[in-house]
Amino acid sequence: MTVNFPPGFLWGAATAAYQIEGAAQEDGRTPSIWDTFSRTPGRTLGGDTGDVATDHYHRRAEDVRLMAELGLGAYRFSVSWPRVQPTGRGHASQPGLDFYRALVDDLLDRGIRPVLTLYHWDLPQELESAGGWPERGTAHRFADYAHLVAEALGDRVELWTTLNEPWCSAFLGYGSGVHAPGRTDPVAALRAAHHLNLAHGLGAQALRAALPSRAQVSVTLNPAAVRGRTDSPEDRDAARRIDALATRIFTEPMLRGAYPADLLADTAGLTDWSFVHGGDPDVIQHPLDSLGINYYAPTVVSAATDNAPSREDGHAPADRSPWPGADRVAFHRAPGKRTAMDWSVDPTGLYELLTRFTREFPGLPLMVTENGAAYDDKPDGDGVVHDPERIAYLHAHLDAVRRALADGADVRGYFLWSLLDNFEWAYGYSKRFGAVYVDYATQARTPKSSARWYAQVVRTGHLPPY
């Protein structure tokens, strides 16, 4: 039998500016931390950079046509901060804003709802040189930037997201150093996490002040579906510790107005958290219209032993841990089939997260803002790209969303990651997440079989038998 999704369910696909736009030095754009990081030898696989990426800056109209052909109801994109505010402060760059005005107009002309993310990891390098996210002033600069973009696009964009995956910005960028800016300081990572929370609150305030009342404000997190390797008290405590660092460090201040006491206790040996100022919790706990959830794979942990692996956490190998205060936690490979990222295929984690947040934060609508998989896709002799593994992945995870809906979760939409193959951060161009295949030598776009399958789901609102 086919499975129906509710009327009005929002079907979309997602991208990020640095991963697709290219045009890194055009129309006044200045370097972001990812420009600096990717141009530093040894930081990315093969020395790949996003200088050209998939050239979306010049192929915008073609890409929007592709979205329309796939019948997408929404497109989640991010704005490049250094493209619209090159120094991270002061006046906006009109050519940069004009690109996003044209993108939004193209989307609306084709009946596609624009879903705008203000920050997907591309901090202007000038702000990083002034201290970056560990410095409080960066949060205030973000609020100014949010106001600029809202004034320019608020008459046409109704769905706004402040931050994408602040965990990655803080802990991969400043803890393990496998993401830009590549720093390895656990205290700086915790400071960055707080200032990202503060930036979210200040940015949300700035959006509310500049946007029409019909606009909706959200944030996108990548909460961890953490599982103890066993049900022992030691492994349950390891799972609690990682849940605090991965998930509750953001959800509790954003949605309850305070950091969890166990997180503060776990990290007391590193910091007294004096960087949290009076009044910060009230700013961070700004009312949200929805919460975005990104999910790829579960996290399996145990209490560390002398023989236990400690870095199988799904992120790029690093000498330094992105988990401050969790030195005695070991990470393990989750069972099951693997993607090209070596991540397990386990849709039960998505179901767990959707039902958990419905239970813990009743009345808050949810969106699955990223979900997808990388596989080693290649065109066949006729130029067709068959990716049955991705279809199986998407089917299983959409069925998890369907089950969560049936069990009472208020899920309003689903965004496939990603629309296009693109620059996959430290992995360069070696991992393909796209529903559309990109030949990086020619920039030719070819929808994969998964794109056609997803278009059928979007068109019918039904999940067909598999």
Where does 211-342 have alpha helices with state H? 233-243, 249-255, 261-266, 280-284
Please choose, from the candidates 173, 169, 186, the residue with its C-alpha nearest in 3D space to the C-alpha of residue 268.
Answer: 186
Burial of 87 from C-beta contacts in 10 A (0-12 / 13-18 / 19+): middle
Residue 364 in 3-state DSSP? coil
User: 10 Å Cβ neighbour count for 168?
Assistant: 18
Name the DSSP class of 248.
Answer: I
Triad 196, 419, 224: Cα angle to 5°: 40
Q: Give the pair of three-digit tokens for residue 158.
A: 């109704």
Identity (one letter) of the amino acid at 418?
S
User: Which of 49, 73, 162 lies closest to 416 in space, CA to CA?
Assistant: 73
Grouping H, G, I as helix, E, B as strand and the rest as coil, residue 226 is strand
Known catalytic residue at 165: yes
Q: How far apart are CA 445 and CA 60, in angstroms?
A: 12
Strand order in the sheet with 299-303: 226-228, 299-303, 329-332
Instruction: Give me the catalytic one of 128, 252, 370, 389.
Output: 370
Q: What is the dihedral of CA 111, 113, 116, 121, to 10 degrees?
A: -80
- Supply 334's token pair: 């989750």
**Tokens standing for residue 268:** 């007391």
- State the helix-helix crossing angle for 186-210 and 136-153, rounded to 10 degrees: 30
- Catalytic residue flag (residue 370): yes
In angstroms, the CA 191 to CA 199 distance is 12
Q: Helix 56-69 and helix 94-109: axis angle, to 10°?
A: 10
Question: Which helix (H) or strand (E) element contains residue 455?
Answer: helix 449-460
Assigned token pair, 213: 């009342």
Catalytic residue among 165, 252, 352, 424: 165
Of 78, 11, 6, 76, nearest to 413 by C-alpha is 11
**Residue 77, helix vs strand vs coil:** strand
Contact 302, 230 (CB under 8 A): yes
- Name the helix (H) or strand (E) containing 355: helix 348-360
Closest CA to 55 of 420, 446, 435, 376: 420
Among all residues, which ones are annotated catalytic?
Answer: 165, 370
